[in-house]
A and B are shown apart, each in its own frame.
Chain A
Amino acid sequence: MPPRARHPFIRELTLTLGILSRNPSAVMGGTIIAAMVFLALFAPLLAPYDPVKLALPERLLAPGAAHFFGTDELGRDIFTRVLFGARISLSIGLLVISVAGGLGALIGATSGYFGGKIDSVVMRAMDVILSFPSLVLALALGAALGPSLINAIFATAFVMIPKFARMVRGEALSVRELPFVAASRVAGAGHAFIIRRHILPNCLNSAIVLATLTLGDAILIAASLSFIGLGAQPPTPEWGAMIASGRKFLMDQWWYATFPGLFILCTVIGFNIFGDALRDVLDPRIRR
């Protein structure tokens, strides 16, 4: 029986997954991420209470059997809100990365491919964005756009665009010198086609690593914005916003601010550890 021919992408994927499963960091990070995703997906099923319904008689209860993480000043179960917060934070992370990655990749690919003046101007613009400390710029943007979760997502994404743009531009610069690109042009391919078919797929590995590593940062910035008051607005159970509310009650009701922060910490650790391991595995130099 001849061996089954698999699509090269699947082969590559299986090979990568195999290597990853032997890497303890990857396994640990991956497990944490999987756990968070699970909690986020099944929050409505796992949560014992309603995340937004008030229950004033139960306000500010300490953690116990009925309320694992205690309750907040409106009587809402913090464990439930933390679970729903996982949904929000993970969605924020994904959205930010998608927007930043998508726009960044487009900008970087175009800039690197066309080179010359366009490249200079675009890269200068990226440098300008990078001249602001990330939180400061996100804050200014978020304030200008108005306090809301969507605006916070956009502000965070904006701040992260340069990283992706630079990475993809680097790839574009090296790929466009390759013979098969010239061959494509001769065969009549348009710029957009070449960018889409040749440049972007080559960036895939680096893009995945970058995305995983910046997801953690994205969650942190978004949580910081919510903490300041610019992101999620009440009653949304976003982790950063919960910490902001919990701060008022910190001294006597320690649980309120502690648990959401713990979850932020774990989630970001998960993405960072996994991203580090992924980078070690996918690094083209190491792979050879």
Chain B
Amino acid sequence: MRILAYTFRRLLAAIPVLLGVSVLAFLISHAIPGDPARLIVGPKASREAVEAIRKEHGLDRPLPVQYLHFMAGLVQGDLGRSIRNHRPVTEDLADYFPATLELTLASLLLCLTVGIPLGILAAVRRNRFADHAARVVSVIGVSTPVFWLGLMLLLLFYRQLSWLPGSGRLDVTSAPPAGMTGLYVLDALFAGDWALLREALSHLILPAFCLSYVYLAIITRIVRSSMIAVLGQDYITTARANGLSAGRVVFKHAFKNSLIPTVTIVGLSLGELLGGAILTETIFAWPGMGKYVVDSVNSLDFPAIMGFTLVASTAYVAINLGVDVLYAFLNPRIRY
């Protein structure tokens, strides 16, 4: 019961944050030096088109009025129209969303299934070499430019070794699996189409690894350091003194406690993952929202850019909310 009340309170607390996000997004698109109307229609539009847009969107009205107009549109799900193809931005984003979801989920899965066991192992088998190695790997991971890493991976695995394909979610000749989720790997799995599943996976591996690389290092490091801290606690000594097996001590008593700081970091990393997806999708020609926004930058399609920004930050706020709830789930002390 307490967890529900806590969740509700966190949800309420998220509302002013979302409002703030909308204000900032509004200010960026309406209050920067330069002409907001031109941002909407693009650099190539004629002066009459710019004036028409200015009238239509009320851009000559005072700022607070504009904000209300902006919010009215937002709550109706109107994120404006893309300059490039004149479709509503919401439709564009909906089209590209599943690809980004698949990539992000795959990266997250990779981070957790590799990072957590590696971190636990490094904590339990503690020696000076492991300490140094962990630190080194972590620093390199955090310092690597994601877009460059992607290119290097392509050079190695696609160009040199020809082990993996270089772009897209499927081979050019293949048709996507019929399915509900839009995640090709899952859809192919449910359809029992093994060949397509293999293909989708082979296209997914490289971008997912590229995207997860940085956060893998971070997560391994935080799991390791929090496990080490936890293993030094008195209640672990108690558990050992009570004759509990090593497995029980580590995986029941230590692990849950070490997850507490880990979960916070994972939440933060997820946000950054969204940012990294922008670059990764571009490198691997992965048709997701990230690539969409980069293409929008190239044509200065500002409504599309702002639409993406709002969606990404809302997702980030939602993720952090989820992390808060998970945190309360793990740590009974903060359920008040």
- CB within 8 Å of B: which residues of A? 124-125, 127-129, 131-137, 139-141, 143-146, 216, 220, 223-224, 227-230, 240, 243, 246-247, 250-251, 254, 257-258, 260-261, 264-265, 268-269, 272-273, 276
Contact = CB atoms under 8 A, between A and B. Distances in A.
Given A140-B305, A145-B32, A227-B145, 8 more contacts: A133-B312, A133-B313, A136-B312, A143-B297, A223-B145, A224-B147, A230-B297, A260-B148
B227 to A, nearest CB: 20
**Majority-rule SS of B interface residues:** helix
A264 B320 CA distance: 30
Given A228-B294, A247-B151, A265-B145, A128 B17 contact: yes
B139 A269 contact: yes
Given A143-B297, A143-B300, A145-B34, A124 B25 contact: no
Nearest to B294: A228
A268 B155 CA distance: 22
B139 A251 contact: no
Interface in B68-111: none
Contacts of B25: 140
Contact of A134 (B155, B275, B294): B275
A127 B272 CA distance: 15
Contacts of B29: 144
A251 B159 contact: yes
A250 B274 CA distance: 25
A137 B309 contact: yes
Interface string B216-233: 000000000000000000
A229 B297 contact: yes
Contacts of B144: 265, 268
A243 B17 CA distance: 36
B34 A257 contact: no
- Which of B142, B143, B309, B317 is most buried by chain A, counting CB atoms within 10 A of its CB? B143
Nearest to A136: B312
Contacts of A125: 20
A135 B275 contact: yes
Contacts of A269: 139-140, 143
Contacts of A229: 294, 297-298
Contact of B148 (A133, A137, A230, A243): A243
B145 A128 contact: no
A265 B148 contact: yes
B21 interface: yes
Contacts of B149: 261
Nearest to B151: A257
A148 B140 CA distance: 29
Contacts of B142: 216, 272
Interface in B188-245: none
B133 to A, nearest CB: 14
Interface string B114-155: 000000000000000000000100011011111111011011
Given A133-B313, A140-B309, A264-B145, A243 B151 contact: yes
A136 B309 contact: yes
B276 interface: yes
B28 interface: yes
Contacts of B21: 128, 131-132
A250 B24 CA distance: 38
Contacts of A247: 151, 283
Given A129-B24, A132-B21, A139 B305 contact: yes
B282 interface: yes
A202 B274 CA distance: 36
Contacts of B37: none
B287 interface: no
A95 to B, nearest CB: 19
B297 A136 contact: no
B82 to A, nearest CB: 14
Given A243-B148, A261-B151, A131 B17 contact: yes
26 contacts: A131-B21, A131-B313, A131-B317, A133-B271, A133-B313, A133-B316, A134-B275, A135-B276, A137-B309, A139-B278, A139-B293, A140-B28, A141-B32, A143-B305, A146-B34, A227-B147, A228-B279, A243-B147, A250-B159, A251-B159, A254-B159, A258-B152, A261-B151, A264-B148, A272-B143, A276-B135
Contact of A139 (B39, B143, B309, B320): B309
A227 B279 contact: yes
B33 interface: yes
Interface in B234-293: 271-272, 274-276, 278-279, 282-283, 293
A39 B112 CA distance: 40
